[in-house]
């Protein structure tokens, strides 16, 4: 699914001067997204890291039309924009809504569900960094099993978050969304290709991109892309593409990596390498193996 060529635009739609952390996976995804959709687009952006790092009043890093929404309603705002453009006969303008996993998996899921059910012609992109990172690394519906967060800390009586990651892909498919896909910033060309492909589809589109968070995950800035690739090559984060409910694309696991190689680069999982946690590592490996078998990734 990852092709070998990509020519970057001469003028980016997201300028330098933002305040994202060094090694931030989200800001990489934001640059790729804005470049791919181009200036003939309007973006509705939920509250979160992608908003606070790029639009510190009175400045903005965005060159394309951009609107800040609340945590819960980028889908509603995008719906209204799309409706207004349709009434004006301007349906050639891309309408894109953006939110983190907190805004997508949890706070805004009811409005996102409504947008999908109505069939609104909007691309919704979720920056999946697996917690409420902007407000202090709290657990979200996207937080994986055993991750240390400030609301689910690991200790003598806990391995961290006790629940598994919510499957938003299956939720989107249950809404009959015509284009549903996952991506990872570790494979930028695949992400760009999916953005462009999604914009050719009429109706709602859902694209979920994996974006490592340096402070929230306790990783090193230099390891961001390595972690983003290991998430895929371990089988933890399958890269898939659905059109009209049919699985039409998947990224193969060319060399299966042990899950420990992914987990050990993140301090949020350091307690899994202490005596007594062997059973939790086994759960992780089983999860990855099940993903590989379910999607036929090898």
Asked whether residue 9 is domain-assigned, the answer is no
Work out the number of other CB atoms within 10 angstroms of the CB of residue 72: 19
Q: In the structure encoding, which two tokens stand for residue 102, read together? A: 């907190």
In a domain, 274, yes or no: yes
Q: Does residue 11 lie in a domain region?
A: no
Tell me the DSSP string of 191-245.
HHHHHHHHTTSSS-EEEEEE---HHHHT--GGGHHHHHHHHHHTSSS--EEEETT
Q: Does any domain span residue 18?
A: no
User: What pLDDT, on a 0 to 100 scale, did the predictor assign at position 16?
Assistant: 85
| DSSP result, 241-275 | EEETTEEEEE---SSPPPHHHHHTT-GGGGGGGST
HEC secondary structure over 73-95: CHHHHHHHHHHHHHHCCCCCCEE
What pLDDT score does 4 carry? 60
We report the CATH number of the domain holding residue 60 as 3.40.50.970
Strand partners, 138: 132
Q: What is the pLDDT along the chain (298 residues), one digit of tens a residue?
A: 665 666 666 678 998 889 999 999 999 999 999 999 999 999 999 999 999 999 988 889 999 999 999 999 999 999 999 999 999 999 999 999 999 999 999 999 999 999 999 999 999 999 999 999 999 999 999 999 999 999 999 999 999 999 999 999 999 999 999 999 999 999 999 999 999 999 999 999 999 999 999 999 999 999 999 999 999 999 999 999 999 999 999 999 999 999 999 999 999 999 999 999 999 999 999 999 999 999 999 9
What pLDDT is stored for residue 57 in this prediction?
86
Cα–Cα distance for residue pair 17/207, rounded to 1 Å: 26
User: Residue 243 domain-assigned?
Assistant: yes
pLDDT of residue 192: 96
Task: Tell me how many domains the chain contains.
Answer: 1
- Quick one: pLDDT at residue 94? 98
Residue 13 lies in a domain: no
pTM equals 0.95
Does 48 reside within a domain?
Answer: yes
The answer to the question of residue 3 being in a domain is no
Range of the domain at 97: 25-295
């Amino acid at each position: 699914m990852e092709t070998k060529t990509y020519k970057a635009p001469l003028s980016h739609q997201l300028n330098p001067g933002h305040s994202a952390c060094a090694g931030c996976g989200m800001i990489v995804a934001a640059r790729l997204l804005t470049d791919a959709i181009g200036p003939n687009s309007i973006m509705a952006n939920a509250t979160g890291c992608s908003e606070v790092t790029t639009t510190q009043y009175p400045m903005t890093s965005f060159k394309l039309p951009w609107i800040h929404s609340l945590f819960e309603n980028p889908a509603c705002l995008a719906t209204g924009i799309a409706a207004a453009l349709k009434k004006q006969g301007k349906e050639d303008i891309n309408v894109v809504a953006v939110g983190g996993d907190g805004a997508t998996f949890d706070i805004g899921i009811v409005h996102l569900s409504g947008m999908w059910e109505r069939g609104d012609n909007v691309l919704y992109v979720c920056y999946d960094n697996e917690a409420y990172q902007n407000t202090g690394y709290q657990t979200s519906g996207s937080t994986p099993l055993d991750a240390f967060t400030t609301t689910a800390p690991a200790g003598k009586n806990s391995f961290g978050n006790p629940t598994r990651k919510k499957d938003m892909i299956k939720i989107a498919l249950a809404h009959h969304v015509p284009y549903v896909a996952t991506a990872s910033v570790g494979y930028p060309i695949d992400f760009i290709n999916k953005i462009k492909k999604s914009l050719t589809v009429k109706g709602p589109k859902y694209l979920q991109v994996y974006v490592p968070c340096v402070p929230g995950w306790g990783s090193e800035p230099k390891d961001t892309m390595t972690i983003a690739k290991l998430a895929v090559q371990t089988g933890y984060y399958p890269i898939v593409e659905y059109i009209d409910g049919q699985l039409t694309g998947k990224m193969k696991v060319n060399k299966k990596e042990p899950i420990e190689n992914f987990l050990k680069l993140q301090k949020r999982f350091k307690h899994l390498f202490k005596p007594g946690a062997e059973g939790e590592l086994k759960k992780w490996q089983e999860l990855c193996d099940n993903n590989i078998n379910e999607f036929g990734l090898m």
